[in-house]
Structure 1
Amino acid sequence: MEWLAGRIMLLSGTRRALVAFVAGLIAVFALPPFGIFAAPFLSFPILVWLIDGASGNPDHGVLRRNFPAFLIGWWFGFGYFLGGLWWLGNALLVEADDFAWAVPLAVVGVPAFLAFFYALAAALARILWSDGMGRIAALAFSFGLLEWLRSFVLTGFPWNAIGYAAMPVPLMMQSAAVIGLAGVNMLAVFVFAAPALIGTRKGLGAGLGLAVLLIAAHFGYGFYRLEQPLPPPADPALTVRLVQPLIDQSKKLDDNERAAIFEDHLELTQAPPADGGKRPDIVVWPETAVPFILTENPDALLRISDVLQDGQLLITGAVRAEASGAGQPPRYYNSIYVIDDRGQIVGASDKVHLVPFGEYLPLENLLSTMGLNAVAAAMPGGFSASATRTLLTLPGGKTLYPLICYEAIFPGEIGGDALQGDALLNLTNDAWFGNTPGPYQHFLQARVRSVETGLPLIRDANTGISAVVNGRGEVVTGFPFGTRGFVDTILPGKFSLLISPEEQERNGMLIACLLFGLVVISRVSFILR
């Protein structure tokens, strides 16, 4: 191991960049659909050794002196994000005539941009570098800080945060209920990077000992929480039907297919329960399932009322139109409707966090003059974002916290009022990305939101993965990707959290402070030697 560490430290130029890139690619295998937990234990020690060897000229300023580490972090990040996000290009091929030219920007450009966060993390770590366990703490602190920035800079895109590599299954998700995703990000990097100490020997006992302790706590708390009894369903219990229609995205964009798509959803809605049991209280359709402006089609609402039985509710994704001022075009929202058995809309919520370049065009006045449009927008100008999130209160008093599409990847999107509700509701349409890692990655991140809140998750996707998940992130029932049908299940009860999301965030900050304290102590000791 010492021989390997020495060889990697001495790399330079193209070889160093290539090894960093491959190390980033290796880390991707910890993510869905692979879930190989061991992969980062190889990639992060390589990253540590590369940064060990990235010492710049001491006569240069701070920026130039640490630029080699910046480049190492960028190549590592580029490999990680390229391997984890290449499927973004699939969305542009749905309407290839209009957007195929942008495939390189999605497949290469987005990873290249996101790699700058890891580049800054590596450079900051190098500034704080010492020897032994201190440098592992510096890397964990720096990655944690930059992952936090990635969650909100330019509206944020925390997809595939490093912490998810440490949470492939429910047993390993439960730590998020204590320290949140931010805390998991930092401790995951520390543990993944700890084997680097074997190659340099300094701080080996303390560093590996702490890493083993963290792993034991991670698994131990998971065992403890999974052994706790499941809470009973809320009284009265609700039976939920998930409808997964499996409609190709190209058909959803075809005006001639709209009536058939609508009838396909209705057919699955009115089908009798597969086991001859109780009819569902709530039927759930995916994001933008209704292929037209529902409020402008009273016949469609009438058709829904014909299909729903007495007391049943339909929850569906749909585009909502709202009149603007005189002479102004209407505003359109990506919305969720709750419709009762009389065809009346009794609840609605609009999407708050839109996908840039997908649902709206940043700098629209400038970019639209260049002929650019948002990819997934169904109308000129794209969607408008709602200023606030509206909880869905159902007849009978049950409350659902709505998250449309990728809103489920943002822990910060879930406010404290969510804990007063009965479930999270995530409607999405991952058909844009085909049978790629994207839908599997999306599903994992949504499940972790259940763990953080203790709330069951109702997730409905056009092509999958649709599922009902309990508050421990365990799948109660659902569909794999690429299947058509429906499934009925009782909505699980919610767990009483020992630690609120706000306290989880504070615990994450405490971990950052402890790591930084360890960095300072190690750095001072390193300088004084």
Structure 2
Amino acid sequence: MDRLANRVMLLWGVRRAGLAILAGALGALALPPFSFVAALFVSFTLLVWLMDGTASAPQSGRLARWRSTFLIGWLFGFGYFVAGLWWLGNALLVEADEFAWALPLAIFGLPAFLALYYGLATWLAGLLWSDGFGRLAALAASFGLIEWLRGLLFTGFPWNAIGYGVMPIPIMMQSAAAIGIFGVTTLAVFVLSAPALIATRKGAPVGLTLALLMVAAHFGYGAYRLHEQAAPGRFDPPLAIRIVQPVIDQARKMDNGEDRLAVFEEHLALTALPPKPGVRRPDVIVWPETSVPFILTETPGALARIADVLQDGQILIAGVVRMEAGAAGQEPRYYNSIYAIDSQGQIIAATDKVHLTPFGEYLPFERFWNRLGISNIVDMPGGFTAGARHALITLPSGQSFYPLICYEAIFPNELTSDVSRAAALLNITNDAWFGRTPGPYQHFQQARIRAVETGLPLIRGANSGISASVDGYGQIKEGLDFDQKGVIDSTLSGAFVPSWDIYTRETHFWLLIIMMFLIAGISRMGLKMRLN
């Protein structure tokens, strides 16, 4: 292993750049649907050795060293994000005649931008780089901090944070309840980088011991939490939920004409299916995001048709496009919304999507892009308008759902204090845009982690999958795989799982960051003293 480490450290030029890209791409194998965690150990071990080579190479000055450490991280990130996000290009093929030209931007342009974050992470780690286990702490703190920033800057896009790669099963998810996804990322990078110490040896006994203790704590806390006594349930009496997964081709929903009414009727037909013998009649039926392919309140008879299908006391929760009439001379406003509709066909609750998808649901600097002939992927005049705030969906029984529309589920820091009053998380989405690619599986995993972080069960309805009923430990109770048409009948009677609140998780995360930077700083100071 010593020889391998030395060969990696001595690489230069194209070979060095190629290995950095390959190391990042290899790490993406740890993400769903592959969930091959060992790939990240290889990935980060190679990254440490590449950083070692940069730190030990003769440089013309500080700026040259900074440029080298940044470039290593950028190349690593480029490989990771291309391999992990290439499927985004599939959304452009739904209307290929209009958007196929943008495939290179989706497959390579966005990863090139996101890789800047990883370049900043390795540059920051390089400032505190040393020859012992302290350099692992520098890398861990830097990645944890930069991943946190990636979830905030430029509207945020924390998709596929490194921590998701080490949480393939429930026992490995529970640490997120205490330190959040970014805290898990911080500890994960330290552990994943630890094998590099076996070859370089300096600080190996202490560094490997710390890594093993972190792994033991990760699994130990997971085992403890999965076997702890949960708090009393928030569903009294139990609530029977039906999740409808209709598997509607995206092109059908976008076509005008009678096919839209046929799509609506397909949802109603699945809603009306009798439950299996011994299974309760559903109290609440959930349709996916934008499941109604027209403006519901502007379509005569649509609400009455829903009332015809719903039985007394049943509630339909449906993803819709909501329209508000504009002022004189102005275009109407459109919202990506959720309606709760009772068995009389009345809308009893509504909420709008707050965090819209750039270039999907709205165009930043729209006038500039329109002058270049570039339009929004979702064909809506002016795009969607963002809602003012997350509003709970409250049922007549008094129980409330915390709504997360589509990719709102990937933002842990945007859960408001209202989540403490909710009985469950409700995530509706339409991942049909991305086809049978890793995208829907990655999205589902991130939604599961929100359930673990909050301790709330998750009701997830997706047009083409993955739909599921998930408990507060991230365990799947019932589910339908991608492209599997049907319904899920599940009962929400499970207990509420006590969890740290968002403020406590953030405090734990920042304490981890400070601790890692302190270890890195002390190690760096020790190296300077030895050199002097």
- Could you tell me the TM-score, scaled by structure 2's length? 0.97
Q: Tell me if the contact between 2:473 and 2:497 (Cα under 8 Å) persists in the aligned partners.
A: no
State the Cα deviation string for residues 218-277 of structure 1 (Å, max 9, x = none).
001111111124556510111000100011111111113101000000000011002253
- Measured in 1, the distance between the counterparts of 2:137 and 2:18 equals 25
Q: Partner letter of residue 363 of structure 2?
A: L
SS at match of 1:490: strand
Q: Could you tell which deviates more after superposition, 452-461 or 121-130?
A: 121-130
- Measured in 1, the distance between the counterparts of 2:195 and 2:104 equals 36
SS at match of 2:328: coil
Aligned to 1:273: 275
Q: Tell me if the contact between 2:455 and 2:499 (Cα under 8 Å) persists in the aligned partners.
A: no
Runs of 4 or more consecutive aligned structure 1 residues displaced over 3 Å after TM superposition = 55-59, 229-233
Q: Tell me if the contact between 1:451 and 1:471 (Cα under 8 Å) persists in the aligned partners.
A: yes
Aligned to 1:285: 287
- Measured in 1, the distance between the counterparts of 2:277 and 2:454 equals 32
Identity of aligned residues (%): 60
Deviation at 1:181, TM superposition (A): 1.1
SS at match of 2:323: strand
Q: Tell me if the contact between 1:373 and 1:381 (Cα under 8 Å) persists in the aligned partners.
A: no
Q: Tell me if the contact between 1:231 and 1:493 (Cα under 8 Å) persists in the aligned partners.
A: no
Q: Could you tell which deviates more after superposition, 224-233 or 30-39?
A: 224-233
Alignment map for 1:124-273 (pairs within 5 Å): 124-229=124-229, 233=233, 234-256=235-257, 257-273=259-275
Q: Tell me if the contact between 1:261 and 1:291 (Cα under 8 Å) persists in the aligned partners.
A: yes
- Measured in 2, the distance between the counterparts of 1:471 and 1:78 equals 34
- Measured in 1, the distance between the counterparts of 2:35 and 2:20 equals 21
Gaps of at least 5 residues in structure 1 are none
State the Cα deviation string for residues 323-373 of structure 1 (Å, max 9, x = none).
222111110000000000000000000000000000000101211122211
- Measured in 2, the distance between the counterparts of 1:137 and 1:466 equals 38
Q: Partner letter of residue 470 of structure 1?
A: D
Q: Tell me if the contact between 1:320 and 1:333 (Cα under 8 Å) persists in the aligned partners.
A: yes
- Measured in 1, the distance between the counterparts of 2:231 and 2:31 equals 30
SS at match of 1:202: coil
State the Cα deviation string for residues 9-56 of structure 1 (Å, max 9, x = none).
000100000111111111111110011111111110100000101136
SS at match of 1:442: helix
Q: Tell me if the contact between 1:244 and 1:484 (Cα under 8 Å) persists in the aligned partners.
A: yes
Q: Tell me if the contact between 2:78 and 2:111 (Cα under 8 Å) persists in the aligned partners.
A: yes
Q: Tell me if the contact between 1:239 and 1:489 (Cα under 8 Å) persists in the aligned partners.
A: yes
- Measured in 2, the distance between the counterparts of 1:226 and 1:185 equals 21
Deviation at 1:57, TM superposition (A): 5.0
Q: Partner letter of residue 391 of structure 1?
A: L
- Measured in 2, the distance between the counterparts of 1:94 and 1:175 equals 38
Aligned to 2:97: 97
Q: Partner letter of residue 396 of structure 1?
A: S
TM-align CA RMSD: 1.2
Q: Partner letter of residue 408 of structure 2?
A: E
Aligned to 1:523: 524
Deviation at 1:74, TM superposition (A): 0.9
Gaps of at least 5 residues in structure 2 are none
Q: 1:354 aligns with which of 332, 353, 356?
A: 356
Q: Tell me if the contact between 2:241 and 2:285 (Cα under 8 Å) persists in the aligned partners.
A: yes
- Measured in 2, the distance between the counterparts of 1:241 and 1:498 equals 26
- Measured in 1, the distance between the counterparts of 2:394 and 2:496 equals 20
Q: Tell me if the contact between 2:289 and 2:430 (Cα under 8 Å) persists in the aligned partners.
A: yes
- Measured in 2, the distance between the counterparts of 1:497 and 1:524 equals 42
Alignment map for 1:280-429 (pairs within 5 Å): 280-375=282-377, 377-429=378-430
Q: Tell me if the contact between 1:232 and 1:492 (Cα under 8 Å) persists in the aligned partners.
A: no
SS at match of 1:482: coil
Q: Partner letter of residue 137 of structure 1?
A: A
Q: Tell me if the contact between 1:422 and 1:493 (Cα under 8 Å) persists in the aligned partners.
A: no
- Measured in 2, the distance between the counterparts of 1:217 and 1:346 equals 46
Aligned residues: 527
Aligned to 1:471: 472
State the Cα deviation string for residues 280-310 of structure 1 (Å, max 9, x = none).
0000000000000011124000000000000
Q: Partner letter of residue 409 of structure 1?
A: I
Aligned to 2:72: 72
- Measured in 2, the distance between the counterparts of 1:360 and 1:22 equals 34
Q: Could you tell which deviates more after superposition, 41-50 or 320-329?
A: 320-329
Q: Partner letter of residue 17 of structure 2?
A: A
User: 1:19 and 2:42 equivalent?
Assistant: no
Aligned to 1:88: 88
Deviation at 1:199, TM superposition (A): 1.1
- Measured in 2, the distance between the counterparts of 1:13 and 1:370 equals 37
Q: Tell me if the contact between 2:232 and 2:496 (Cα under 8 Å) persists in the aligned partners.
A: no
Q: Tell me if the contact between 1:318 and 1:334 (Cα under 8 Å) persists in the aligned partners.
A: yes
Q: Tell me if the contact between 1:286 and 1:460 (Cα under 8 Å) persists in the aligned partners.
A: yes
Deviation at 1:498, TM superposition (A): 4.5
Q: Tell me if the contact between 1:242 and 1:487 (Cα under 8 Å) persists in the aligned partners.
A: yes
Aligned to 2:490: 489
SS at match of 2:206: helix
Aligned to 1:438: 439
Q: Partner letter of residue 312 of structure 2?
A: D
Q: Tell me if the contact between 1:231 and 1:492 (Cα under 8 Å) persists in the aligned partners.
A: no
- Measured in 2, the distance between the counterparts of 1:231 and 1:121 equals 40
